[in-house]
Amino acid sequence: MKLVKSTFAVLLVLLSTSVYSLTIKGSDAINVNGSEAWVYTYDQSTLTALPGSDISWLYANDDSTININGGEIGWLYGYDNSTINISAGDIAWLKVFDNSETNITYLDDLSRLQVYNDAIVNIYGSNLSYSSGYLSGNWANGSSFSFWVLGDGDNIVLHTVTEPSTLALLVLCLGLLARSRKI
């Protein structure tokens, strides 16, 4: 009886995975703004997670691209030569492998980042600090962040970005200087 229950449980998991999964292949481009349990991208496909999306497990494979523009992602995995671009949203775990590349310009929350093999993670912000597996700083909009990094921290590249208020002040000063020279 125990074997029957175990077999039934495995079959149930396999069936639920196939029934409730979204697979994107070829050069298809899909926007997600609802709930999805499992999402797999392959080939040169593109998935964009919009605000309001809720994805439990999201897997980027091959040369696919994933754009996270909002929503909640439970587990996000990058494999092969995939590209993940994150500009908003809430992600519990981000795990990248192989030669995948991840670009993060803003996140509401990230619990853990795991980097393995030759994967590269580009972080864009200001006051960036990485020490003993802990990454912190400010996003370009000025909001602060901090999260733990596991795996190969040498593959995290920090890019300092000028805050919008500093850039606006610079443009204003240059405009005033140009105007004063005309007078």
pLDDT tens for each residue of the chain, 183 residues long: 554 455 555 455 555 555 579 999 999 999 999 999 999 999 999 999 999 999 999 999 999 999 999 999 999 999 999 999 999 999 999 999 999 999 999 999 999 999 999 999 999 999 999 999 999 999 989 999 999 999 988 999 999 997 655 555 455 555 655 555 555
The pTM (predicted TM-score) of the whole model is: 0.80
User: Which pLDDT score is estimated for 130?
Assistant: 93
Measured between alpha carbons, how far is residue 82 from residues 95, 146, 183 in Å? 12, 25, 55
Q: Which two tokens stand for residue 86?
A: 């994150």
From the list 56, 74, 68, 61, the residue with the least C-alpha distance to 16 is: 56
pLDDT at position 172, please?
A: 56
pLDDT at 18: 52
Show Cβ contacts of residue 26 under 8 Å, excluding neighbours closer than 6 positions.
Answer: 42, 43, 44, 45
Q: What are the distances in angstroms from CA 183 to CA 45, 169, 174, 177?
A: 56, 21, 15, 10
159: nearest Cα among 114, 78, 102: 102
